[in-house]
Structure 1
Amino acid sequence: MAEDIKIEFIEDNRHLFSIIEESYKKEWKEYYRPGGQGDALSDIYSFCNKDKLPICLVALKHGKFLGSVALRQKSGSHYQLSPWVTSLYVIAEERQKGIGTKLIDAIENLSVDLGFSKIYSRSATATAFFIQNDWVPIDQIEKQNLTIFKKDIKP
């Protein structure tokens, strides 16, 4: 259940970096493959902030990594928009249990604390999830099957 879940800064959970790295590589194989665009461990280290971007939160249950969500200055498109919710991930066996929603709620609250009034995200697979959490589709990248979302957030 999502009630047992703690949301913490990734910075405070460095002992989990190798587990998170493997999870990211498994989930986003093409991006993090050898020779691919991304470097999972570098991304994770870049998220080690608590009061500036990029920043990342993790979901834990009794110290076990269940998922993550990050807030970054830029994404892979729409460079005029900022900041971006990225790296939204929940381990497969824990999906559909409210953890993703808890992560999104936490990053939205953190975004407000950081002074943002709008946040953006993009997804090829979680369109229904974002819409269910009151995000508004604002664009489509057909070639990549990506939907771009925006959410107005208020304190």
Structure 2
Amino acid sequence: MRKLQKTGALLIVMTLVGLIACGGGSKRTMLKGDTEDYQTEGWLDDDTFQVRALGAPNPNAKGFVRRRTQAEEAALLAAQKRVVELLVGAKISAASGSDSGESTGVAITKELDGVVKGGTIVKKTFDSEDNCEITYRIHAKGLKKMAQALASKKDFR
């Protein structure tokens, strides 16, 4: 349980870093030494929404593959949370987690559940410390209208 709390706290910190670093338009990646420009997040059209997120491995994790798997899973969870936060304005705190690189789930609205979890990672990069940055894209017909309808509800869960 303690590991889950630490991992959850790490995801929250990484999400906050992403929020602070993100503005509008084209951005540089958040990993050290990477200077490639690309469209980072926001509405690409009325049916497609994109975010980016960071994930870090457990500091005690051993092995290249395990560290990168954990970092990618943490980034994926952070991206899924960020999609919901940006689309419907919800703050998700203790509703998700990752333990040893395996997802323990994300609690999100029923209406967006399949859309958010059915997204794709369109870009994935790692730095020298095995931190992972992903660009995550979701696509669904009428997504913008669905998000606006959910955001206008008081209790969307």
Return the TM-score normalized by structure 2.
0.32
Q: Which structure is higher in RCO with an 8 Å CA cutoff and minimum separation 6? A: 2
Return the TM-score normalized by structure 1.
0.32
